Amino acid sequence: MCGIVGYLGLNEKKEILLDGLQELEYRGYDSAGIAVIEGKKLHNFKAIGKLENLREKTKTYHSEGFGISIGHTRWATHGKPTELNAHPHLGAYSYVVHNGIIENYQELKHELQADGVTFLSQTDTETIVHLFEKNHKTTPDAFLAFEKTIQRLEGAYATLLITEAAPDTIFFAKQGSPMLIGFSKEDVYFASSDTPIIGKADEVYYLEDGEYGYAKAGEVKLFNAGGEKSFTKQALTSDKISAQKDGYRFFMEKEIYEQSRVMSETMIGRVRDESIYFEELGEDFFDGITSIKICACGTSYHSALCAAYLFERLAKVRCDVEIASEFRYKEPLLLKDTLFVTISQSGETADTLEALKMAKRAGLKSLSICNVDNSSIVRQSDAAILTRAGIEKGVASTKAFATQTMVLWMLAVYLGQTRKTLSSVLAKTEIDAMLHTPKALIVGDELHAKLHRLSKRYLHGHGFFFIGRDIFYPLALEGALKLKEISYLHAEGYPAGEMKHGPIALADSELFTVALMPRTMHYDKIKSNVEELSARDATILAISPEPFALADDFIQTQYATHPMLEFFEMMVVTQLFALEISVRLGNDVDMPRNLAKSVTVE
Ligand code: F6R
């Protein structure tokens, strides 16, 4: 996820910006840049890769006297991680940094291009600075031109703009993406989270959506739709690690809560009213392909299993899924009309990477679905679709799984549309459901509190079975994996219909069954599977929109109009369930024992 810093004052600006950006490294980034105006002079530096590269580029530059400055770390979403795409973006005499996504940037860009503006980058952000300068031509007051600019922006943004037209002022606006203003005796800071300003500012104001304004020496003015606003500053925390967690107890918890937002980012530019579009795939990408093979490990393997149902159902394309470490040594039959897909959060998992190399040696076309641009798997693949989940710090994967599954669902619909195996009516139903997904992922306070309460009853016993059918079977596998990774309790995922072929022998009151019982997918079938377990006295935690009389514990879900909405809502329940059990057991939620975030060895 991108990071923003800003500084206005007398101190050396370059160091403040670089140190601030360093504090935001934990969010992940692939390029960085700063812009400073001192006196009337503008200085701008950008570099791809780590901040050391930017430090190297700026080593002979030192700012002097009063000035204004902005900086940014970018995690590529629209356009590759290149210097041209790095922020700050330049107009003729102004610079802008931005986090979030300007949803109507294409429309604005076309409008500006028609006015003769040349765009240097592929980003949505660049539209802001050009739009500002266009408005400034007719509205000479820079603040009014800025106000006019943000009124045209749709989507999510936290943005800072500086301009030679007002060389003592930083303009700011916030809608949807976080931003704060830090205050010390003489200086003003901006940042996308507390960490860059801890130790520098004493007080802070967290901007609300819809707020914007400007800062000059000794003066910060805040506005919203109702006009000028007064605001109350509060004392700034001094704990950096807790600041990085944005107030959550654990990174994993923060990442569960982030899922609703990152899912919107995964869809932006790809999900349109009537169709799915991937700028990463050429029109002929699937030509000659008759089947798909997916290889992945762990959680990514579970999203692959889910995809197999979706590809066959929606796109009518045969799809096999294999665990990468198994695939590597089985001497697989690889046929050239098979598309080889790898799925990986890190893009560095050794087994998945080796499986990809094998497929390439056999001449297969490859596609990766990955969260990290420029990772080994992305570089080795013929094409890559980024999941845009932002950096995932919790070892137990959550938002990466959610976004992988979303990309695969979109890909299944895309394929169904391009191959005409999916009618436009059905495609519309899928797309409508996709657009509702961010809502289904919002974590309600009541739900979290209930899972916290209920977790105390699940700290013992001789194991958990997570059961589901169809796409809820991979979700059951994933729910069980989450629980065992961070609670160290034994848990298995099972297809519900398979329990009677053996595992039901384990059933007694100390066997906990987490039953995924969606309304829109084989409800009666799973219901009777759960009844069989209940009859053997198993303890049942049912997750369903339908009240279920035999449940010992029951979580009622809300979104029951489409299987994928049910899937994502239930996914959140299983993630929080695992989290709360792990907390009660006193485990290290973010760094569970024996596990590593990126498994680069066989
Ligand atoms: C589970 C988890 C692991 C990873 C697996 C593959 O929470 O994180 O199972 O999913 O190690 O990693 P990636 O997706 O980076 O290839």
404 CA closest ligand 1 atom index: 14
Tokens 């506005």, residue located: 223
Q: 372 C-alpha vs ligand 1 centroid, how far in Å?
A: 13
Q: 466 C-alpha vs ligand 1 centroid, how far in Å?
A: 19
Nearest to 33 by CA among 2, 60, 12, 10: 2
Instruction: Find out whether 318 and 291 touch, Cβ atoms under 8 Å.
Output: yes
Query: Can 148 be counted among the known catalytic residues?
Result: no
Q: 421 C-alpha vs ligand 1 centroid, how far in Å?
A: 32
- Which residues, other chains included, contact 206 with Cβ-Cβ below 8 Å and sequence gap of 6+? 178, 180
Q: Can you spell out the DSSP letters for 240-304? A: HHHHHTTT-SSHHHHHHHHHHHHHHHHHTTTB-SS-B--TTS-TTTTTT--EEEEEE-HHHHHHH
Helix (H, G, I), strand (E, B) or coil at 178: coil
359 has pLDDT over 90: yes
Per-residue pLDDT tens for 235-253? 887 777 777 788 899 999 9
Give the pLDDT confidence score for residue 1 in this predicted structure: 63
Confidence label for 429 from pLDDT (cuts 50, 70 and 90): very high
Nearest CA to ligand 1 atom 3: 298
298 CA closest ligand 1 atom index: 9
Rg from Cα positions in the chain: 25
What is the spatial distance between Cα 373 and Cα 558, in angstroms, rounded to a whole number?
35
Q: Is 84 exposed, middle or buried (0-12, 13-18, 19+ CB in 10 A)?
A: middle
Q: Classify domain 445-584 by CATH number.
A: 3.40.50.10490
Give CATH superfamily name and number for 251-428.
Glucose-6-phosphate isomerase like protein; domain 1 (3.40.50.10490)
Give the pLDDT confidence score for residue 373 in this predicted structure: 79
Query: Helix and strand tally (H, E) in the chain?
Result: 17, 25
Per-residue pLDDT tens for 141-154? 999 999 999 999 99
218 has pLDDT over 80: no
Q: What percent of the chain has pLDDT over 90?
A: 78
Q: 302 C-alpha vs ligand 1 centroid, how far in Å?
A: 10
What is the spatial distance between Cα 102 and Cα 288, in angstroms, rounded to a whole number?
36
Per-residue pLDDT tens for 268-277? 889 988 899 9
Nearest CA to ligand 1 atom 10: 299
Give the pLDDT confidence score for residue 602 in this predicted structure: 66
Backbone angles phi, psi at 575, to 5 degrees: -65, -45
In angstroms, what CA-CA distances link 413 with 307, 337, 427, 471, 537? 11, 20, 7, 16, 42
Q: Can you spell out the DSSP letters for 350-404? A: HHHHHHHHHHHHTT-EEEEEESSTT-HHHHHSSEEEE-------SSS-SHHHHHH
First to last CA, the chain: 29
Tokens 């003769």, residue located: 116
Q: 300 C-alpha vs ligand 1 centroid, how far in Å?
A: 6
Give the pLDDT confidence score for residue 50 in this predicted structure: 87
In angstroms, what CA-CA distances link 157 with 7, 150, 160, 352? 19, 9, 10, 35
395 CA closest ligand 1 atom index: 8
Within 10 angstroms of residue 89's Cβ, the number of other Cβ atoms is: 29
Q: Do the domains at 251-428 and 445-584 have one common CATH topology?
A: yes
Q: 396 C-alpha vs ligand 1 centroid, how far in Å?
A: 8
Instruction: Find out whether 162 and 7 touch, Cβ atoms under 8 Å.
Output: no
377 CA closest ligand 1 atom index: 16
What is this structure's pTM?
Answer: 0.79
Within 10 angstroms of residue 569's Cβ, the number of other Cβ atoms is: 23
Cα 24 to chain centroid distance, Å, stands at: 16
User: Active-site residue among 2, 295, 297, 306?
Assistant: 2
What is the spatial distance between Cα 155 and Cα 147, in angstroms, rounded to a whole number?
16
Helix axes 472-487, 563-584, angle to 10 degrees: 10
Give the pLDDT confidence score for residue 467 in this predicted structure: 97
Instruction: Find out whether 468 and 478 touch, Cβ atoms under 8 Å.
Output: no
Counting ligand 1 atoms within 8 A of each CB, the residue from 321, 323, 327, 346 with the most, and so the one to mutate, is 346
In angstroms, what CA-CA distances link 244 with 100, 109, 251, 397, 507? 18, 34, 8, 18, 43
Ordered strands of the 338-344 beta sheet = 318-323, 291-296, 338-344, 365-370, 383-386
Per-residue pLDDT tens for 571-597? 999 999 999 999 999 999 998 888 777
9 has pLDDT over 90: yes
Give the pLDDT confidence score for residue 29 in this predicted structure: 82
Give the pocket of ligand 1 (CB within 6 Å).
Answer: 297-300, 344-346, 349, 352, 396-397, 481, 485, 598-599
Nearest CA to ligand 1 atom 9: 298
Instruction: Find out whether 168 and 179 touch, Cβ atoms under 8 Å.
Output: no
Counting ligand 1 atoms within 8 A of each CB, the residue from 255, 300, 346, 375 with the most, and so the one to mutate, is 300
Mean of the per-residue pLDDT values of the chain: 93
Q: Stretch 40-52: mean pLDDT, rounded? A: 90
Tokens 């997916």, residue located: 294
Counting ligand 1 atoms within 8 A of each CB, the residue from 397, 405, 582, 595 with the most, and so the one to mutate, is 397
Q: Can you spell out the DSSP letters for 48-85? A: ESSHHHHHHHTTT----SSEEEEEEEE--SSS-S-TTT
The domain locations on the chain are 3-244, 251-428, 445-584
What is the spatial distance between Cα 495 and Cα 441, in angstroms, rounded to a whole number?
24
Q: 128 C-alpha vs ligand 1 centroid, how far in Å?
A: 37
Backbone angles phi, psi at 205, to 5 degrees: -130, 125
Confidence label for 176 from pLDDT (cuts 50, 70 and 90): confident
Tokens 């080994």, residue located: 376
Q: Classify domain 3-244 by CATH number.
A: 3.60.20.10
Q: Stretch 342-363: mean pLDDT, rounded? A: 95
Q: Stretch 321-345: mean pLDDT, rounded? A: 96
Query: Can 597 be counted among the known catalytic residues?
Result: yes
Nearest CA to ligand 1 atom 16: 344
What is the spatial distance between Cα 102 and Cα 126, in angstroms, rounded to a whole number?
10
Q: 297 C-alpha vs ligand 1 centroid, how far in Å?
A: 6
More confident residue, 217 or 570: 570
User: Active-site residue among 240, 360, 525, 597?
Assistant: 597
What is the spatial distance between Cα 516 and Cα 466, in angstroms, rounded to a whole number?
8
396 CA closest ligand 1 atom index: 7
Give the pLDDT confidence score for residue 26 in this predicted structure: 72
